Each structure stands twice: as structure tokens, then as C-alpha cells.
Amino acid sequence: MPTDKRADKRADKRADKRKPSDDTGATPPAADERLRGLLADLTQLQQYLSERGDHTYELAQRFLANAKRDSSSRAYDERQATMLEYQHYIWREIAGRVNKLVELYGDGDQQPPAP
């Protein structure tokens, strides 16, 4: 029965996919190690998002300053500043949510990022 052999091969392939494919024979990291790694990555993400928010805020301020200096492009500069201020809010809001996750699942041994 050739169909049984094919079914067995497919089942073996599915089982192989579930196994960690580590050629070194090392055991996969423990759940605590994985959680610490995830929390470290989330902390880096939070810092990156905060920096992006700060950068967009600075750009918004530049556009507002230019709108005051140059009346010929005032409407454009004000629209750009408004859009960038909204982006600043979004970046900071997402960073705050990520920080809440770090605080919720962290065990307090990590230093909180500077605001």
C-alpha cells in the first residue's frame, strides 16, 4: 500500500518540524531565559519608539519655527507640524504600552529606560 508509506512520511515530516533543529545538540533555552530575552528586546523596542517620538517632535518644532519665519509656506509647514505632532503622540503611546508589558512581566531586575 503506497498511500500508507506517504502518510507515514508526511507524519514524520510534521514531527520533525516540531523538534528544535539545533545541530549542536544543545537543549533549547529554558522558559525563564526566553522571557528574559523577550523582556530585553521589548525594552530596546520601547527605547527605540521613544527616540522616534522625540525625533518627530523635534521635526514638528522645526516646521512650526519655519512657519513663523516664512509666510509663503506657512500652511504647508503647519500641516507638516500637525502631522508630526500626531506621529509623536503615536510613537510615545506605543512606547508606553510596551513599557507596561515590560513592567508587568519583568521581575524588577532590569533598569527602566530613561524618558
Structural domain span for residue 61:
57-106
pLDDT digits (tens, 9 = 90+) for 45-95: 999 999 999 999 999 999 999 999 999 999 999 999 999 999 999 999 999
Largest CA distance in the chain: 84
- C-alpha distances (whole Å) from 10 to each of 1, 4, 5, 60, 101 are 15, 10, 9, 57, 39
Sign of the C-alpha dihedral computed for residues 15, 21, 26 and 31 taken in this order = negative
User: Does a structural domain hold residue 39?
Assistant: no
- What is the distance between the alpha carbons of residues 32 and 40, in angstroms, rounded to a whole number? 12
* 1 vs 54, residue with greater confidence: 54
Residue type, 22: D
Residue 70 contacts by C-beta under 8 Å, 6 or more apart in sequence? Answer: 77
Q: What is the pTM of this model?
A: 0.63
User: Does a structural domain hold residue 92?
Assistant: yes
Give the pLDDT confidence score for residue 109 in this predicted structure. Answer: 54
User: Does a structural domain hold residue 73?
Assistant: yes
